[in-house]
Structure 1
Amino acid sequence: MKNSTNGAVIIGGDFQGLGIARNLAPLDIPVIIVDTRFCIGRVSRYTDRYFSSPPLTDPEGFVDFLIRLAFEEGMKKWVLFPTSDRAVFILSKYRDRLSEYYLVPTPPWEITRLAYDKKLTHRLAEKLEIPAPITFFPQDLEELKDLVLDFPVILKPSVIANFFPVVKRKALPVRNRNELMEGYRYMSSIIPKDEIMVQEIIGGGAKNLYSFCSLFREGVVKAKIMARRLRQHPMDFGSATTFALTCEEPELERMSVRLLENIHYYGLSEVEFMFDQKDRTFKLLEINPRTWGWHTLGAKAGVNFSALLFMDMNDRSVSVDSFEKGVKWIREITDLPTVLTELIKKRMKIREYIESVRGKKELAVYSRRDPLPFVAELFLAPAMWYRRGFRS
C-alpha cells in the first residue's frame, strides 16, 4: 500500500501525463490516469489505475465522470493534473463544484481566462508595457481589408483549443493579401471571427524561442526553470517542442513575474517568449496555465514540478532556489523526423545534431526503468501522427 491518504488524477495519458506519473513516483502516492482512448501512460509501472473518460468536448459529462469516480473509488481530495487546454478550461469553469471532491490547482476562470484567451493575454501585456508582437484583432472582412500590414504575417486563433484539434495547426502563415483574405475566411468557418488574430512574424525561427516555467504562489516564484526551445515540429511554425535546453535569462523571469503577479496566478505555468533580433528584446507569445509538454526537463535539472505542486496543494512548504543549466530534453518520436527534415533542407549539419544530443538529457518517453510506454508509442506512432497532423 502506498504511503498516502490522497493521490493524483492525471487528465490525459500521453507523454506529458506519463511524465507527471513518473515524477510523482518519489512521493510514493497512488496515481490514476484518465483518458478517452488508449494511451501510453496506461502501461507505465508508475500508473496504478486507468479509467476511460468521456471526451473533454463534453464538459458536463466529464465533470460528472470525475465526481462519480471520486465516490466510487473512495478518493478524497486527490490532486487533479490537467495536461491540455480543454482540461484547463473544464477545471477552471467547474472549479467550485470539483473542489468539493478534489484539490484543483487551476485558478478560477476570471484568472485562467487571461491566459487561455490569447487576445486577453496580449491586452494584458499592453497594459503592463511588456513587449509583444504587433497584433490586430479585426472583427470582420472589412476591418481586415483596412489593415496596413508588412507581409508575411500569421493568422492565429486566440483560443487554441477551438482551432488546433480541427486543423492540426496553431497558426496559418500568409504571404500576401489574397492569402490573408482566404485564410481569414477559412478560419472563420471554424472559429468565431472575434477569435482570429493577425500577428507579425518574429524572424529567426525556433532558435529564438524561450520559456519561463514556474510554480507560482502569492506573488512568489517557488520553483523555476528557463529554457530555449531549439527544435519544434514543424520547425517554422511548430505545434510542439521536440528539443529544449535549460538556460538563464533574467529578463524572462522579470517579465513573467509581472504578468503572473498582476493576475494573482497560482500553480504551474509556462510563459513563452520570442527573441526579436531586430530590436534585441524578448516578446511575449502566450501563457500556458498548466504543465507544458517538456515539463520533465525540470526534474532532470533539479526541479520536479509535479511533485512540488502536489506537495504545495497539500500544504507542505516547498521552494527550490536554483536549477541546472545546459540540461536537454528530447521528444524522441518527433525530434528525429524534424532533424531529418532539417538535414534534407540543408538547414542543419549532422555534427550539429550530434553535438546537440550530447550531455545530460531527459527523454520524453524512453526509460530503462519503465520501458513499456516507449514500446507502446512505437506501435501507436502512425495513429498519433495522423491525429496531430504530422507534416514536414
Structure 2
Amino acid sequence: MKYKNKAVVLGTNYYIGLSVVRNLGRAGVHVVTVDYEDHNYGVSKYVKERLIGPHYKNQEKEFVKFLIDYAKKQDEKPVLFPTADLYVEFMEDNFDELKEYYLWPNDKKGLYRELMDKQSLLKYTKPLGIKTPEIIGMDEENLYQRVTEELGYPCIVKPKDSMPFVNKYRSKVFMIKDENMLKEKIEMCKRDGQDVFVQRIIKGPETNCYSFDMYMNKDKEVVSYMTTHKIRQWPINFGASTYAKQYYVKELYDICVPLFKSVGYRGFAEVELKRDEKTGTIYLVEVNVRFVNFTELQCHMKMNTPMMYFKDSIGRPFSGPKITENKDVYWKYKYEDLPAIRQYVKTGQYSVLDVIKDYRFKKVSSTWAWDDPGPGFKFFNWAIFHRFKR
C-alpha cells in the first residue's frame, strides 16, 4: 500500500461512508470499515478489512475496547473517520482514550460537539454578528408563550441529533401550524426521549438553501472550499438534499471562515445556510463537523476531503481547489429524489416541466460508480425489495 497508516471508517450504513471509503481507496489507502451490523454500502472493492463490532451507543465501553484492541495490533496509528453525528459524539465522549491509539485532525476536545449543537453554537456566532434562526429549547420556561411572541407560527421543531429523530419519525423536522400542534409534538418527543428545539422558519425556495464546504489546516488557513445550492430535498422543504448543484455564492466565505478561524478549527466542515426571500439576509442554519452528503461531489470537483483529512492526520502535505466559478456539476440521490419529485408536483411547488428543465444527464451519483459497482447493485436490490415489501 502507498501509506503505512490505515483508515478506520466508522459507519457504512449510508452513502456518506461509501464515498469516504471509495475516495480513500482510490488514492491507495488501506481502508477498514467498522459497523455494528452488515450494511448495503459495506461491499465496496476498496474495503480491505470489514469489521463488525459492538454498538457505539448501546455498548459504548465495549466498542471503545474493540477499537483500541484493533489499533494496538497495527504498526502505525490508524486514522479514525466519523460518517455521522453520533460517531462524532462517540469520539468526543471517548476523546482521551481514543486519541492515544488513533489519529484525527481535531485536538480540541469538546469543540466539535459545541459547533454541532445549535444552542452552544450561538456563543461563537453572536460575537461575530453571524445571523442564525432564533431557537427555543424544549425545556425552556414559558416555552409556548415565548414561541407565540418571539417566533410565531408556522415554525418548526428540530432535533439536536438528527439520526435517532429521523429513524423514529421518518422526518427531519416537524412543521408546526399552531400552539396545540406544538404541545402535541413536544410531549411526544419528551415521551420518546428525543431532545428537540423550536426554530423560526427562514422563508424561501429550496434554491435559497446553500452549503459551504471547506478544509482548514493547522495554521487556520482555508486550503480548499466550494459552495452548493439545493434544488430538491426529502422530506420536501425541510430535509436532506436529493438533487443539488455546485453553485458559487461569494458571500458564504465571509460568513463562515471567520467562525472557524475564531475557534481555531482544523479539519473538514460544512455549513448549511439559507437566504431569507424577503430581506435577502443569509442565515447560518447548521454546522456539520463530519463527512457529508456531498462528499462524492467534492471529490468529483478534485476536492478530495477524505484524503485531506487523512494526510492532515498523518502529517503529510495536502492541497485542494478553491472553486469560485460555476462548473455546472449536479449531484443526485435517486432513491429519495423520486418521491421528492412526486411530492413537489403534488403540492404544486414544481411542474413536470420544471423537473425536466432542471434535469441533467451528466450527474455525480451518491451511490453508483463504474469502478465499484458492487454497492450500487446491492443497494438497488435492497431498494426494490424494500419498496415491494411496503
State whether TM-score is above 0.5: yes
Change in Cα spacing, 1:103 to 1:378, as seen in structure 2 (3 Å) is same
Deviation (angstroms), 1:133: 1.4
Deviation (angstroms), 1:65: 1.2
Distance 1:3 1:143 in 2: 56
Deviation (angstroms), 1:159: 3.8
Report if aligned partners of 1:151, 1:174 keep a CA contact under 8 Å in 2: yes
Instruction: Tell me what 1:219 maps to.
Output: 220
Instruction: Tell me what 2:374 maps to.
Output: 372
Change in Cα spacing, 1:367 to 1:358, as seen in structure 2 (3 Å) is same
Deviation (angstroms), 1:137: 3.1
Deviation (angstroms), 1:370: 1.2
Instruction: Tell me what 1:328 maps to.
Output: 330
Change in Cα spacing, 1:69 to 1:363, as seen in structure 2 (3 Å) is same
Distance 1:385 1:284 in 2: 36
Equivalent positions of 1:42-121 (< 5 A) are 42-57=42-57, 58-72=59-73, 74=74, 76-121=76-121
Change in Cα spacing, 1:304 to 1:357, as seen in structure 2 (3 Å) is farther
Change in Cα spacing, 1:326 to 1:87, as seen in structure 2 (3 Å) is same
Equivalent positions of 1:234-313 (< 5 A) are 234-238=235-239, 240-313=240-313
Distance 1:337 1:198 in 2: 27
Cα deviations by residue, 1:230-281 (Å, 9 ceiling, x for unpaired): 211111221x211121111121111111111122211111111011111101
Unaligned runs of 5+ in 2: none
Distance 1:119 1:361 in 2: 36
- Greater shift after overlay, 63-72 or 295-304? 63-72
Cα deviations by residue, 1:16-49 (Å, 9 ceiling, x for unpaired): 1111111113421211111122223321111112
Task: Give the letter for the 2:352 counterpart.
Answer: I
Instruction: Tell me what 1:5 maps to.
Output: 4
Report if aligned partners of 2:165, 2:172 keep a CA contact under 8 Å in 1: yes
Instruction: Tell me what 2:192 maps to.
Output: 190
Report if aligned partners of 1:152, 1:174 keep a CA contact under 8 Å in 2: yes
Distance 1:382 1:75 in 2: 43
Task: Give the letter for the 2:306 counterpart.
Answer: S
Change in Cα spacing, 1:141 to 1:384, as seen in structure 2 (3 Å) is farther
Distance 1:171 1:95 in 2: 30
Deviation (angstroms), 1:340: 2.7
Distance 1:109 1:162 in 2: 24
Task: Give the letter for the 1:6 counterpart.
Answer: N
Unaligned runs of 5+ in 1: none
Task: Give the letter for the 1:122 counterpart.
Answer: L
Deviation (angstroms), 1:61: 2.0
For the residue of structure 2 that corresponds to 1:119, the secondary structure is coil
Question: Aligned residues: percent identity?
Answer: 28
Structure 1 residue ranges, 4+ long, deviating more than 4 angstroms after superposition: 382-386
Distance 2:387 2:309 in 1: 31
